[in-house]
Chains A and B, each alone.
Chain A
Amino acid sequence: MRLGRDGIAGLIGLAVSLALLPYAFGLPQLPIVPIGPGFYPKLVLTFMAATCALLVLQDLIVQRRAAAPPEPAEPAPTRAYGLVAAAFVAVAAYIGLLPLLGFRIATVLFVAAFQLVLERPTTLRQWLILVAVAVGTSALTHVAFEKYLSVLLPRGLWTGW
């Protein structure tokens, strides 16, 4: 018996809701309120478990009906999942470095690195645009937020800037 994408997603949802349900049942009952703090979470988790179970069931039926995978009519579009992973890593690194390097330095590095990840410049003009966008984004957001909107942006623990 094979599970498709929906079935796996349904199983994950079912596992999460079943794992949390005992916790919801263990929440204390308050003396002044007829229904305790666990009442609503129990409803939500039961609803989630039921819909996830139905999703798994639906997927099993679909998988059983489709005995052989259909012939693709045209080649599937190419997807750059490597770029997506790199983009997430870059954002995580940016968020991690923000309190250490400070907004201004971290933003310049992030915007430059992100552009490099997505599209490597080949000409001098493209390199100049990359640097200008990185520095410009950092400078403009800093001015807009700190000077005009009174939002104190993160200062760097390492740089003090």
Chain B
Amino acid sequence: MLELLGNGIVTVLQWKYMLPLLLGTFAGVVGGSLPGFTITLTVIVILPFTYGLDPLAGLAAMTGVYVGGSTGGLITACLLGIPGTPSAIATTFDGFPMARNGEPGRAIWLGVWASVWGGLLGALFLVFVTGPLAAIALEFGPWEYFSLFVLAMAMVAGLTESSLLKGLVSTAIGLLVTVIGTDPIGSVPRFTFGSEFLAGGFQFLPVLIGIFAFAQIMTDIEKLGDPATRAKAALRTTFEGFSHFRVNWEIFRQPFLLLWSTVVGLIIGILPAIGGSASSVMAYDQAKKFSRTPERFGKGHPEGIIASEASNNANVSGSLMTIMAFGIPGDAVTAVMLGAMTIHGIQSGPLFVSQNPGLAYGIYGAYILAHPLMLIICMAAMPLMLRLTSVRLAVLAPVILVLCVMGAYALNNTMSSVYVLLIFGVVGYALVKAGFPLAPLILGLILGDQIEINLIRAIMTDDNVWLFLTRPISGGLLAAAALSVALAIWQHIRHQKRTAGEEDTDF
């Protein structure tokens, strides 16, 4: 295994792979540091540039975006109090007060170094645990896969803070979109109404790009009318004198904090589609509970920054484990990666590592190397990034939209994908305005075909539907799904009591 890992790292060290990884990491750090841009949007923008590349080069670029973006979000979180990405939300709690206390450099570099160490610790798990996880997944039959997908969707819908029902409706919409086109067994046209445009169904990536990119950009544009948004002026920050050695000492004198935050991030990352924001908030909460000085949290405490940042970078390795072992995207970013893998004809799942060791260990290598690269980028380009965070939306939005249109067009060099992009852009924005979360919809879209195929396979193998409940793993997964929904209902009732009448935009 170590030899394969060594080979993977050496492979990625070639310029052919190193350059996309470097550019991806840079784009990730910059994209992550732009409030409202998100890592998903960055990876969507990068996606079309990877079509013409070797599969490993393309996936290395995306891994770089993922790692860089997870760290980039802390820059504005510390300096403006606005997380560049949702995964940096808990970093604002202590990073911003620390920066306001005159230590912006310490705040940012504590976060960057914690990200590096958390991410590298997560890499250990990624390399050594993905194989055993995939071995477990190999035991799965169609019943277990069906139940696993149901669990994934139940968890995502259940995590919708505003309304469980809306999460479920959103999932159903995603599933419905996958039904359009021809059925996977007999190629019978379904819901095509004689239209050639609908005959082939909807490709996943234009739908995903349309929904996410438009929902994000249009929501940002809408806020241009708000004077408070306009007041967020250009960032001009100078760093106080600080020492990298001291910052690292602050991290390593509490090894348990670093390790536990990493484990929290990893576990949340492995659970399908929960995402970095939950991991950073949970790690922050855990750090506060275990701390000897919990009263200092929220006032610029280094422990808060370390916990949040170590956790959200370890979360990336957890998400990569899920996609490589089970073929289920851990979040929207890995959903795009899954789409990119499909374009290159690569099937992710339990056999992925054993059938594509070169590619799998190359991804591990890219993930590991992305961390020192990210560190070098942050050291070299911090002043540039601080300037980029002040680029106006009027300039940024049309450029992103052009890249989105090109991303859809370049999929198969036809305008039909671009029309799909526009249709789902409108749908995505309408859903966000109606308060529907997009994550369950995306998961429904990704898993819809697989759910149907596994359901049919299971019934074709044995028409006893009770097997879904009586087979131990399948039954356990369905029980966990039911428990997840029950928990969500309980949390929803509690949430409604607390925040009656509040409106929030939930991507």
Contacts and interface: CB of A to CB of B under 8 A. Distances in A.
A137 B52 contact: no
A33 B436 contact: no
Given A141-B406, A150-B52, A37 B188 contact: yes
A135 interface: no
Contact of A118 (B179, B393, B409): B393
B463 A40 contact: no
B177 to A, nearest CB: 10
Nearest to A70: B501
Given A30-B186, A148-B52, A115 B402 contact: no
B226 A79 contact: yes
Interface in A19-35: 20, 23-24, 27-28, 30, 33-35
A10 B435 CA distance: 11
B473 interface: no
B51 interface: yes
A60 interface: no
A144 B491 CA distance: 49
Contact of A151 (B183, B410, B451, B456): B410
A107 B402 contact: yes
A98 B163 CA distance: 40
A37 B225 contact: no
A30 B218 contact: no
Interface in B133-172: 163, 165-166, 168-169, 172
A152 B413 contact: yes
B226 A99 contact: no
Interface string B386-408: 00000011110111011101100
B429 interface: yes
A84 B222 contact: yes
Contacts of B398: 110-111, 114-115, 133, 137
A102 interface: no
Contact of B52 (A45, A133, A151): A151
Interface in B424-479: 425-426, 429, 434-436, 451-452, 455-456, 459-460, 463
A92 B186 contact: no
Residue among A77, A84, A98, A137 with most chain B CB within 10 A: A84
Contacts of B436: 9
Contacts of B52: 148-151
B21 to A, nearest CB: 17
B418 to A, nearest CB: 5
B49 interface: yes
Chain A facing B: main interface SS: helix
B507 interface: no
Contacts of B221: 80, 83-84, 87, 118
Given A54-B165, A78-B226, A111 B434 contact: no
Contacts of B455: 40
A40 B452 contact: yes
Nearest to B168: A51
Interface residues of A, number: 68
B299 interface: no
A126 to B, nearest CB: 10
A35 B176 contact: no
Residue from the set A28, A44, A107 with the largest chain B CB neighbour count within 10 Å: A44
A81 interface: yes
B228 A83 contact: no
A145 to B, nearest CB: 6
A67 to B, nearest CB: 13
B434 A9 contact: yes
B419 A95 contact: yes
A31 to B, nearest CB: 10
B223 A79 contact: yes
Contacts of A88: 218, 425-426, 429
B49 A149 contact: yes
Nearest to B451: A40
A79 B222 contact: yes
Contact of B179 (A40, A77, A91, A92): A40
Interface in B35-64: 48-49, 51-53
B169 A41 contact: no
Contacts of B395: 115, 129, 133
Contact of A6 (B217, B226, B435): B435
A91 to B, nearest CB: 6
Interface string A99-140: 100000001001100110011000000000100010001100
Nearest to B449: A40
A27 B192 CA distance: 12
A35 B392 contact: no
B188 A41 contact: no
B186 A118 contact: no
Interface of B: 48-49, 51-53, 163, 165-166, 168-169, 172-173, 175-176, 179, 183, 185-186, 188, 190-191, 217-218, 221-228, 392-395, 397-399, 401-403, 405-406, 409-410, 413, 415, 418-419, 421-422, 425-426, 429, 434-436, 451-452, 455-456, 459-460, 463, 501
Closest 10 CB pairs of A and B: A80-B225, A37-B183, A48-B172, A114-B398, A149-B52, A118-B394, A119-B394, A37-B188, A78-B225, A111-B398
18 contacts: A27-B188, A33-B186, A37-B183, A47-B168, A47-B172, A52-B169, A55-B163, A66-B501, A78-B225, A78-B227, A83-B221, A84-B429, A91-B401, A91-B422, A111-B398, A114-B397, A138-B402, A151-B51
Given A79-B222, A115-B398, A149-B49, 8 more contacts: A33-B186, A35-B459, A36-B186, A44-B176, A111-B398, A111-B399, A118-B393, A118-B394
